[in-house]
Amino acid sequence: MRRRPSRARRRMPLRMPRTPAERVAAGVIVLVVASWVADGLQWLTSDGLPVLVAAAVLVAAGLGARWWLRRVEQAARRERLAMLRLSLDQLDAMGDRQFEFALRDLMIRDGIRARQVGRQGDQAADVIGEDPRRGRIVVQAKHTRVGGKVGSQVMYQVKGTAGPVHRADISVVVTNGSFTRDAKTWGDRHQVHWVDRDRLRIWAEHGIALHDLLRLPARPARRTLGGTTG
**Contact between residue 128 and residue 117 where contact means Cβ atoms under 8 Å apart:** yes
Does residue 179 register a pLDDT over 70?
yes
Taking all residues of the chain, what is their mean pLDDT, rounded to a whole number?
A: 79
Spatial distance between the Cα atoms of 98 and 90, rounded to a whole number of angstroms: 10
For the entire predicted model, the pTM comes to 0.64
Nearest to 143 by CA among 191, 196, 106, 186: 196
Determine the structural domain holding residue 139 and report its residue range: 88-213
Q: For the ranges 80-84, 173-177, 179-183, 201-205, which has the lowest average pLDDT?
A: 80-84
Spatial distance between the Cα atoms of 47 and 19, rounded to a whole number of angstroms: 42
If asked whether residues 140 and 27 sit together in one domain, one would say no
Average pLDDT over every residue of 60-80: 62
Asked whether residue 63 is domain-assigned, the answer is yes
If asked whether residues 118 and 206 sit together in one domain, one would say yes
**Contact between residue 126 and residue 116 where contact means Cβ atoms under 8 Å apart:** yes
Q: For the ranges 107-116, 119-128, 177-186, 218-227, which has the lowest average pLDDT?
A: 218-227
Query: Residue type for 109, please?
Result: R
Asked whether residue 185 is domain-assigned, the answer is yes
3-state secondary structure of 16: coil
Share of the chain above pLDDT 70, in %: 60
Residue 138: beta bridge partners? Answer: 128, 171
**Other C-beta atoms within 10 Å of 183: how many?**
23
Tens-digit pLDDT profile for residues 137-148: 999 999 998 779
Average pLDDT over every residue of 91-115: 95
**Contact between residue 169 and residue 136 where contact means Cβ atoms under 8 Å apart:** yes
If asked whether residues 103 and 202 sit together in one domain, one would say yes
If asked whether residues 190 and 97 sit together in one domain, one would say yes
Asked whether residue 227 is domain-assigned, the answer is no
**Contact between residue 157 and residue 136 where contact means Cβ atoms under 8 Å apart:** no
41 or 227: whose pLDDT is higher?
41
Which H/E stretch holds residue 212?
helix 210-213
If asked whether residues 133 and 170 sit together in one domain, one would say yes
Question: Which of 82, 105, 121 represents a domain boundary (last residue)?
Answer: 82
Q: How many domains does the chain have?
A: 2
Asked whether residue 226 is domain-assigned, the answer is no
Asked whether residue 54 is domain-assigned, the answer is yes
Share of the chain above pLDDT 90, in %: 52
